[in-house]
Amino acid sequence: MPKESAGCSSVLEFLIRRFPGITPSVWLQRIQDGKVLWDDNTTIAEDSAYMPQRRILYYREVEQEPPIPGNETILYQDENLLVADKPHFLPVIPNGIYVNQCLLYRLRKHTGMDDLTPIHRIDRWTAGVVIFSTNPKTRNQYHNMFSQGQVSKLYHGVARIPSSLKQETSKLPTEWQVENRLAKGKPRFRMEVRPGEVNARSRIKCIAVHNGMGMFHLHPLTGKTHQLRLHMSGLGMPLLNERYYPELQPKSADNFDQPLQLLAKQLQFIDPITSRKMSFSSSRDLVW
């Protein structure tokens, strides 16, 4: 909560003012149901005093949350890690209208592990391998592994080969090294290329062509949001069923029969705890 209370004497009053789209009766009910907590997981009462700079937690609720088809699978689990294979359209964590329909909630419900936390993320349009921490004591070591670029990532992608590039892809495999600077664009959920120091690098290889479509192996060397999607678009080959790049398509309901053809196929790394080489692969395949 902010340093200045703006006249709020209680947490309840602050929440009502801060989120006017939610009615006071709903906030009161959430507090009474024990869904609003201090950051030490103790419950907040309807008369709990406003405490500047204190962190509060609450469970978001969505009246009509669309169900997302497809099942996740657990590929591996030990005392430090859980590795899952995510279907298309399912967000990794709660996002927008999706709260219970996310990979984190589904796995917590399935395993009973309330402390499960994703080590990295892929966007909801992308299917494939996601790694979770099961142990708070070792969590930072796995976070650091990703932030320091110590994880080898292989994605599969499918894109239409435009006539202007058919000559270039006639001799396979064909490889591109893409390097540029990505930053938040407009709307804020899109990324865009900006001038300046390079912060996004990808190695992209076309390994097969069939009926005007190309199968690509994509290796992100950095981990910017939508990096592979934007880099493929920049090459003139946006991924099949892409809705953000190069142009944002009109908002519409998810078409579950036409998922974005991007798959986080494989992750490899040296485990920072055991020093073992770890390799995990999605059992899913793209359609092309």
pLDDT of residue 153: 98
* 165 shares its domain with 254: yes
pLDDT of residue 184: 95
Residue 64 lies in a domain: no
* 194 shares its domain with 119: no
- Print the domain residue range for 37: 11-58
* 29 shares its domain with 121: no
Judged on CB neighbours under 10 Å (0-12, 13-18, 19+), 42 is exposed
Is the link from the previous residue into 162 a cis peptide, with omega within 30 of 0?
A: no
- With 80 as the cut, is the pLDDT of residue 244 above it? yes
CATH number at residue 94: 3.30.2350.10
Beta-ladder partners of 270: 277
Tell me which of 88 and 19 has the higher pLDDT.
88
pLDDT of residue 74: 98
Residue 21 pLDDT level (bands cut at 50, 70, 90)? confident
**Mean pLDDT, to the nearest integer, of 127-132?**
98
* 32 shares its domain with 134: no
* 102 shares its domain with 52: no
CA atoms of 157 and 64, how far apart (whole Å): 32
Predicted confidence (pLDDT) per residue in 168-186, tens digit? 778 888 999 999 999 999 9
- With 90 as the cut, is the pLDDT of residue 225 above it? yes
* 174 shares its domain with 253: yes
Mean pLDDT of the chain: 94
* 81 shares its domain with 92: yes
Question: In this structure, are residues 282 and 130 in contact, taking their beta carbons and an 8 Å threshold?
Answer: no
* 156 shares its domain with 144: no
Q: What is the number of domains present in the chain?
A: 3
* 193 shares its domain with 234: yes
Structure token digits, residue 46: 């309807």
- With 90 as the cut, is the pLDDT of residue 266 above it? yes
Residue 287 lies in a domain: no
Tell me which of 251 and 168 has the higher pLDDT.
251
* 177 shares its domain with 238: yes
pLDDT of residue 205: 97
Residue 116 pLDDT level (bands cut at 50, 70, 90)? very high
Instruction: Give the CA-trace dihedral at 160, 166, 169, 170, to 10 degrees.
Output: 130
